[in-house]
Structure 1
C-alpha cells in the first residue's frame, strides 16, 4: 500500500494572494515529486471559493497526476455551476456547515455586509442535489441547547428532506463549542443538548432505512 501524502492549501483573502501565485510552481513541484504516493489535496480557508479561479486552474495543471481533492466551504458561493466546474476538475468531496435552522444559522453566520446566509446556502445545496455528477457532501450540523429542541430538530430534518435517499450526502452532528472563557467546559445544558438529540435521530433512522445519509 502506498503512503498517503496530504497537501493542505489555505485560502485567506478575497483575491488570489501574491504569495499563493508565487507558490503555485512550488506546490506543483512538491506534488509532482511525490506522485508515487496517494495524494490527497484539501482546500480550506478562510473561504476557498473566493479563489475559485486559482483552484480550477491549479486542478487543471495537476490533472495528469492521480489524486483526490476535497474542500471545506461555507457553501455560500457553491452554486450549481461552480460545483460542476469543481467536480469536473476532480474536487469531489466537500464539507459544508449548517448552524441549525435559518434564524440560528443567520445569527451565527451573518454576511459581512449584514443579512443572513442560510437561504443562499440551502438554495445551493438543493440545486446541487439535482445534479447527476458523482460527489460527496458532508453537512456538518452544529447545535447547542438553544437550537436542539424536538420541534427544531424535526424541522431541520424536514428542511433537508430533498436529500432523502441521496447517498452523496451525509450528516455530521456536533455541539457548538464555547470559544471563550470556559471553552470545552461540560455544562448540564450542553450535555442535555447532546443527549436529547439521540431519540429523534434513531427514530428518523428507523423511518428512513433506504437513506444512509441520515445515520
Structure 2
C-alpha cells in the first residue's frame, strides 16, 4: 500500500489502495483520502476507522456499516489468495476489454522524415514519403481489419513519424479512401497525431481538421523560446524562430475554436536537466498566449532513453516526480488543465501487446511498437512482415511483446504484479522493461501527494499528525 503505514498491521488489504500523505480535518474529525486504482474509488476515511484496519480483532469490532465503507475504500482484510485474485482480475479485465473494444485502430507512418534535430531524439530519419503501392496495401489491411470487428463503431488512425505533417500528401490521399471505407462499414472515423507543431499553420490545421478528421494533436514544447529552440532546433537551420511559430499556430486554433469544435490539443513538455528550471517561465508565456484554453491539456513528462542512449540530461524518475508536482501546482494557478489521476486502463497497455493493432512504416514494414520503426538497428529488422507479403485478411504475426502479461508481468521481467498502480498503468512500456529500464510513470512515486491535492476540493483542510 502506497502512503503512510498502519504501524505493525497484521492484516492485508487491497494492494491497489493508496492513502494520502497528509491528514485532513473537517468538523473536528481527521481523515486521510483513500484511492483504489482498481475500483477508481475515492474515500475520505477517518483516522478512527483506519485504526480498525491494523489488526483483525479491531476490524471485527467495527459495525457492518463501517466494514462495508472500508470495503468500498479497498480496506477490507484480504487473504493472500484474495490479493492474488484481484491482480488476476485486473489483468484479465484489461485483456477482455481490448477484445471487446468498439474502436478499430491503426498507426500509419506517412513519412520517415523530420524537420527537427532534437538533442535527445532516438529516431534515425530518412527522406521519402509512403509510396502509392504501399498506401494501397495499407488500405486493404485496414478494410480487412474492420471486417474482423463487426461490432466496431469507430476507426481511429494515428499518424506517426518522424514529423507526420511532412507526409501530408500521403495523409490526405489515405484519408479520402478511409472516409469511403468507413462510410461503407457504417463507422465514424477520426485521426490523431504527435507533431512538433512547426507545420501546423492555420491553413494546414483547417485542412487536417476538415479532410483528415484530425481530432487530437500532441505538440511538444520544451521550454521558453531560447530553451526550446536550442533543445529542438530545425535541421540545417539556425535556431531562433521555431518557438514563436509553434505557439502562434496553437494560439490560432485556441482563438478560433469555434472552427475546430472537436479538436483537442495536448502540450507535451519533455523535462531534462537543461530545461527543468525554465518550465515555469514556459507555462507563464503559454498562459499569456491563451494556451490554457479548455481545448488544451498539459502533459509534463521526463525525457527517457529509447534504448539507444541518446537521451541527454535525464532526470531521475523519483526526483522528477517531486518536481512534477511543483510544476503542476504552478500550472493550476494559471488555469491549465491536466489529468491528476489517470483512469483505469482499458484494453492492452499499448499497440505492441495487441495482435489487432499494428504500426505500418513508411516503406510498408509492419511493426508492433511505435519505438521500433525509426530506431537505429531496429528498422526493418524488428518488423514482423511487410504489407506486400502479409495476408491482409489475417492479423499481424506475433511480435516481441504480445505475451507481455505472461512473460512481462507474471514472468517477473517487470515489478508490476505487486504494484499499486497496475490497473491504471499496465506496465507502461514493455519494450523499456525488456531493455532493462524501469519505465514507471511519475504517479508511481507521487500518488499520495496527488491525493493531498484533491482533499481541499471536498472541503477538507490539512492538519498536522
**TM-score between both structures, scaled by the size of structure 2:** 0.40
SS of 1:199's partner is: helix
2:268 aligned with 1:157, yes or no?
A: no
Q: Retained in 2: the 8 A contact 1:177–1:184?
A: no
Residue 167 of structure 1 corresponds to which residue in structure 2? 294
Structure number with bigger Rg = 2
Q: Distance in 2 between matches of 1:181 and 1:45?
A: 18
From 196, 199, 202, the equivalent of 2:326 is 199
Per-residue deviation, 1:182: 9.2
From 95, 102, 105, the equivalent of 1:6 is 105
SS of 1:92's partner is: strand
Please list every run of 5 or more consecutive structure 1 residues that lacks an aligned counterpart in the other structure: none
Q: Retained in 1: the 8 A contact 2:225–2:243?
A: yes
Residue 41 of structure 1 corresponds to which residue in structure 2? 157
User: Which aligned pairs between 1:1-215 and structure 2 lie closer than 5 A?
Assistant: 2-10=101-109, 11-13=111-113, 14-18=127-131, 21-35=132-146, 36=150, 37=152, 38-64=154-180, 65=182, 66-89=188-211, 90-116=213-239, 117-131=242-256, 132=258, 133-134=260-261, 135-149=263-277, 152-161=278-287, 162-163=289-290, 166-177=293-304, 180=309, 187=316, 191-206=318-333, 208=335, 211-213=336-338
Per-residue deviation, 1:28: 1.6
Please list every run of 5 or more consecutive structure 2 residues that lacks an aligned counterpart in the other structure: 1-99, 114-126, 183-187, 341-465
**TM-score between both structures, scaled by the size of structure 1:** 0.82
Higher relative contact order (CA 8 A, sep 6+): 2
Question: What's the C-alpha RMSD, in Å, of the aligned pairs?
Answer: 2.8
Per-residue deviation, 1:197: 3.9
Q: Distance in 2 between matches of 1:186 and 1:200?
A: 15
SS of 2:218's partner is: strand
Q: Retained in 1: the 8 A contact 2:130–2:170?
A: no
Q: Distance in 2 between matches of 1:183 and 1:203?
A: 25
Per-residue deviation, 1:130: 2.1
Q: Distance in 2 between matches of 1:120 and 1:181?
A: 27
Per-residue deviation, 1:194: 4.3
Q: Retained in 2: the 8 A contact 1:129–1:163?
A: yes
Q: 1:193 to 1:154 in 2, by over 3 A?
A: same
* Higher share in helix: 1
Q: Distance in 2 between matches of 1:70 and 1:181?
A: 26
Residue 57 of structure 2 corresponds to which residue in structure 1? none
Q: Distance in 2 between matches of 1:115 and 1:212?
A: 33
* Higher share in strand: 1
Q: Distance in 2 between matches of 1:205 and 1:6?
A: 33
